[in-house]
Amino acid sequence: MNLQTMSDQELQKFYAFSIARNAEYYPEDPVTPYEDWVRRWREPAPHDVSRRVAIVHNQTVIGVADADWRDNDTENPDQAWTNVSVDPAFMRQGYGTKLLHVLLEEIQPLGRKKLFCGTSSIKPGGKPFAEKMGAKFGLEEGTNQLLFSEMDVGYLQRSLEQAPKDRFSFIWFDSDYPEDDATLQKLCDMFAVMNTAPRGDLEFNDWKATPEKLRDEAANAKKHQQQWWLCIAVENTTGNFAGFTETGWHHNRPKVAGQYGTGVDPTYRGHGLGAWLKAAMIDRILRERPTVDRIRTGNADSNVPMLKINHSLGFKPYHKHISWQIDVAKTLEILRTQVQ
């Protein structure tokens, strides 16, 4: 199934399915306009590869399974992220099993040996389905949300006032990266700190950013009108990049900001940089993005230092989810005995 070449008439069916599924997880969010949704599929980012299969009943999409990866991923060239979604009215009828079977038969010859997927507390049937498919438990995580109306303003102000400003300062990048390769490489080296984030039992090699990848990501975000701010903590005496935090939003969801990565180089931990970075970002959003009234972020349950900062600011649990790992060959053996 190729959404890039599909007619608008056919795509409308998949759009309706996608919007309905998103509403299950984020019922208070506005609906993404069709024009923006379809642009995402017809104009993918460079090196993005997708495979999708679907079940259509009476001209209505009732289930979709997909797998996504990048063809320039040199660190984990045999892996992909996958998702299986079924309309609640058609659950427990074997459609998810059929979808996953067809998908895995298609992507295994393409070199995909290991998949990652997620299940959510919103759909409790996902966990037993993953276990039935032979998926291996990887990491328990949570999506946490900060409503500005419930934020601990005192903690925010203390994080700003007690910051180590004599040793560090901030630089900002707004929806674009610098031109020179030297600065881009420093950013790539700093982003590597995210490889120290908890990964539980998930098995994958360290992720590595490159100047080319950063430029591609920035260009793709701009094409799809996704805006972002990146705040970098710089050590004043050396010019070293010590830590960062990043948020983003889209004009179609003016109230919601997504908290992307936040990380501090192990060399510079213990100075309050993480709290200062997050507080500075929120402070700027409050001043310059008055439509935003909440921030959502994902955290591993085992990431105690980051959760401490988030909870102190006033973040509260929104969703719980589990990341799973699938051995494609093993799961296909299971599926081939179940699907005739």
Domain ranges of the chain: 8-143+323-338, 152-313
Strands 79-86, 114-120: pairing is parallel
The Cα–Cα gap between 219 and 45 comes to 8
What contacts 32, CB < 8 A, 6 or more positions away?
19, 22, 252, 253
Q: Determine contact, residues 319/118, Cβ cutoff 8 Å.
A: no
- Percent of the chain beyond pLDDT 90? 89
Give the tens place of pLDDT for each residue, 150-177: 999 999 999 999 999 999 999 999 999 9
Give the tens place of pLDDT for each residue, 112-131: 999 999 999 999 899 999 99
The Cα–Cα gap between 275 and 55 comes to 46
Strand partners, 139: 323
The residue with tokens 């009476």 is: 58
From the list 147, 86, 159, the residue with the least C-alpha distance to 119 is 86
The Cα–Cα gap between 279 and 52 comes to 40
CA angle (297, 73, 81) in 5-degree steps: 50
Per-residue pLDDT, 1: 58
Which parts of 170-272 fold into alpha helices (H)?
Answer: 181-191, 211-223
- Quick check: helix, strand or coil at residue 143? strand
CA-to-CA dists, residue 48 to 12, 65, 112, 291, angstroms: 22, 17, 14, 32
The Cα–Cα gap between 92 and 128 comes to 11
Per-residue pLDDT, 2: 61
What is the third-level CATH fold of 152-313? Answer: Aminopeptidase (3.40.630)
Q: Determine contact, residues 208/221, Cβ cutoff 8 Å.
A: no
Burial of 90 (0-12, 13-18, 19+ CB in 10 A): middle
CA max distance for the chain: 68
Give the tens place of pLDDT for each residue, 248-257: 999 999 999 9
Question: 319: which DSSP letter?
Answer: E
**Topology agreement, domain 8-143+323-338 and domain 152-313:** yes
From the list 153, 173, 146, 150, the residue with the least C-alpha distance to 256 is 146
Residue 4 has pLDDT above 90, yes or no: no
CA-to-CA dists, residue 57 to 8, 246, 288, angstroms: 18, 42, 47
User: Domain spanning 8-143+323-338: which superfamily?
Assistant: Gcn5-related N-acetyltransferase (GNAT) (3.40.630.30)
Cβ atoms within 10 Å, residue 236? 12
Give the tens place of pLDDT for each residue, 193-226: 999 999 999 999 999 999 999 999 999 999 999 9
Per-residue pLDDT, 152: 97
Give the tens place of pLDDT for each residue, 268-281: 999 999 999 999 99
CA-to-CA dists, residue 15 to 20, 35, 39, 64, 256, angstroms: 9, 10, 12, 12, 21
pLDDT band, very low/low/confident/very high, at 3 (cuts 50, 70, 90): low
